[in-house]
A and B are shown apart, each in its own frame.
Chain A
Amino acid sequence: MSALLEISNLSAKVAGKNVLQGLSLTLNAGEVHAIMGPNGSGKSTLSYVLAGRPGYEITGGTVKFQGRDLLSMEPEERARAGMFLGFQYPVEIPGVNNVYLLKAAVNAKRKASGLPEVDAYEFLQLVRGKMKLMQMDESFLSRGVNEGFSGGEKKRNEILQMLVLEPTLAVLDETDSGLDIDALKVVARGVNSLRSADRGVLLITHYQRLLDHIVPDQVHVLARGRIARSGDKTLAHELEKRGYDWVLEVA
């Protein structure tokens, strides 16, 4: 098994506060890892640091993505190299329509790999197929990015983008928050359809229920900016029963 993502002793500051404090984690190709943890433990910070959002200062450690130094890459380079962030709060961009964004994103990635632009007709067919899987109406395509979408629609749209972009590593930041059980199943189906031997998924979640539908290979508990405990899927059930305090005490 080859390591897709290797985070070693990562520390990061945001707004002058040390949020990540020596976090280490290795995710191999073909694996799904869940990161759970109480509010304020650094879950979202980890996702933003991986995606390269400005305002996060790396104070120590390294991150390797397929052997490359991820932290030295621009956000757009990371995306083109096969990394995808599913946002907890996807932003609305009125005036830029969804299909345009999808196509521009796919073409940016293809260009970086020396491939020609995608065929417009084939692309639309592909997107339509993925939309069906996500139970999204086609009218979404011509609307502004996330414009006027409900919370659940925004999350589905994130997964749709992921399915179209086919990333090597998907980091999904609380994709389950605010979803009802039916929407949760749709999102889980989308994520599961992407699972393959050469891809990895980092699922960041506050609740165990998502993990009933996307079964992880490993579960990590993030507390005070580092991994406090790791285990298999049964760890999630134990957390559900005993709460996060239990881990914090042990840690």
Chain B
Amino acid sequence: MSVVLPTNRDENWRYANLRPLAKARVEEARPANALTRPNPPPALPGYQRWQFSDGHFTVSDASADARTKLLDARAAGESFAALLDADLSSAGVDFSLARINAARGDDVLQIELPDDSSPLHLELLFFATTSSADGTSYPRVQIVAGRNTRLRLVERHLSSRDIDAAVNGAFDILLRPGAILEHVRVQNCSATSAVFDTLVAHVADAAQYRLRSMTLGGLTSRTTAFIKLAGRGARCELAAASVANGIQTHDFFAEIEHVAPDTVTRELYRGIAADRGKLGFNGKIVVRESAHGADSEQSLKSLLTGSGAEASVRPQLEIYTDRVRAQHGATTGKLDEQMLFYLLSRGIDRRTAQTLLQWAFIEDAVSRVDCAELRTDIESLIAAQLNEVSALEGLLGKQ
């Protein structure tokens, strides 16, 4: 298969660190050495857990639920990505990574909720245990949520501390009318890993897609998301948080396309770049002529705390009809001096005060994770990423 990989000259890839792509071998990862697998995080109450190593299924504690099954890549086919692809004029190179995934991925997890079936809570753990020299992991998930169903999905990416794993994931999501998907993604791979993923979601009438994306790990991390609000009243809520330190680069491209009338987008991004970390968030919203009554809000903010830190945060609006409401705000800045002085004037030391304010900043996005146990866990990971576990001790799990 010949696929042209994106480069920094491609419009939607200017800020991504693509060097690891060239370094990673596009073969599938060789079977993993189980010893290098990190310990799984504590179980979430009420969630069925599925575990994967280097893209391959390993174990599940789920009682047989026919709605979740593993498929062979060839049986799964290219699916919705291909469908959306045909409609998207801009697709092209943006789907290169997804195509490689579709061609290589072995175990495809398919989650299919029949119309009006009972709610499902699933937690997916993807461990990367193999270094990039031994190949790439290709996690792949297909979701079809039937009419009026509700799916809570937690997706976590982890790796051993000391490996430079390469991961190229793909998510295909189809939400039928009235379906609600709450999708929390936590990427906490090692700071030497390269983690790429493509996410495509098709949202029908009155269906809701709520994505909370927490990016902490990876030397380089890139999410490419295409979300299509295809039916009347479809809604997308995207809350993304990112903390990059050291020399990490975290890049997120999200295109949300309003096709149907009365569709709604609520997009929030909070990123902190420490040290020489780099952040990119490109929130593109397209409102088609047919999408009258569309309503979109974007609040995109980044905070630079390191002397060599960089951020590029941009909202992008393409509107082809007059009858819309579109609000957007984007800022990149440093800590608020007035807030800092207020905390100092109460006797709190400077370092703790700075950490508290960073915490408050990122909490804006993290607070949108509904599951309390998971939120507490994410908060601990963020505290560790901010290198300030002790200063934040009293805050964890209290919000």
Contact = CB atoms under 8 A, between A and B. Distances in A.
Interface of A: 51-54, 74-76, 78-80, 84-85, 87, 90-91, 93-97, 100-101, 103-105, 108-109, 112, 144-145, 161, 165
Contacts of B348: 76, 101, 104-105, 108
Contacts of A96: 343, 356-357, 359-360, 395
Contacts of A95: 359-361, 363-364, 367, 399
A76 B394 contact: no
Given A53-B341, A97-B398, A97-B399, A76 B347 contact: yes
Given A95-B363, A97-B399, A108-B349, 12 more contacts: A75-B341, A76-B347, A76-B350, A79-B347, A85-B345, A91-B336, A93-B343, A95-B364, A95-B367, A95-B399, A96-B356, A108-B346
Q: Which of B342, B364, B398 has the most CB of A within 10 A?
A: B342
Contacts of A78: 345
B352 A104 contact: yes
A91 B341 CA distance: 10
Interface in B307-351: 336-339, 341-350
Given A79-B347, A100-B395, A93 B364 contact: no
Contacts of B350: 74, 76
A90 to B, nearest CB: 7
Contacts of A161: 346
Given A76-B347, A95-B363, A108-B347, A100 B342 contact: no
A95 B353 CA distance: 13
Contacts of B341: 53-54, 75
Contacts of A105: 346-348
A93 B399 contact: no
A144 B395 CA distance: 12
A229 to B, nearest CB: 30
A103 B394 contact: yes
Contacts of A145: 342
Contacts of A76: 344-345, 347-350, 353
B78 to A, nearest CB: 42
Interface in B88-139: none
A80 B364 contact: no
Contacts of A104: 346, 348, 352, 356, 394
B347 A91 contact: no
Interface string B232-255: 000000000000000000000000
Nearest to B394: A100
25 contacts: A51-B345, A52-B345, A74-B344, A75-B344, A76-B348, A76-B349, A78-B345, A79-B345, A84-B345, A87-B345, A90-B342, A91-B339, A93-B339, A93-B342, A93-B343, A93-B357, A95-B359, A96-B357, A100-B395, A100-B398, A108-B346, A108-B347, A108-B349, A145-B342, A165-B346
B111 to A, nearest CB: 34
Contacts, number: 85
A202 to B, nearest CB: 15
Nearest to A99: B398
Interface in B180-200: none
Nearest to B361: A95
B378 to A, nearest CB: 14
Contacts of B398: 97, 100
A51 B357 CA distance: 20
Shortest 8 CB-CB contacts between residues of A and residues of B: A95-B360, A79-B347, A105-B346, A108-B347, A75-B344, A95-B363, A80-B347, A76-B344
A88 to B, nearest CB: 12
A101 B395 contact: no
Contacts of B364: 94-95
A199 to B, nearest CB: 17
Contact of A144 (B336, B346, B360, B394): B360
Interface in B362-399: 363-364, 367, 394-395, 398-399
B214 to A, nearest CB: 16
A79 B357 contact: no
A104 B347 CA distance: 8
Contacts of B337: 54
Nearest to A106: B347
A109 B357 CA distance: 20
B318 to A, nearest CB: 32
Contacts of B394: 100, 103-104
Contacts of A85: 345
A103 B356 CA distance: 13
Nearest to A102: B346
B387 to A, nearest CB: 18
B345 A75 contact: yes
Nearest to B350: A76
A165 to B, nearest CB: 7
B342 A91 contact: yes
A220 B220 CA distance: 62
Residue among B347, B352, B359 with the highest chain A CB neighbour number at 10 A: B347
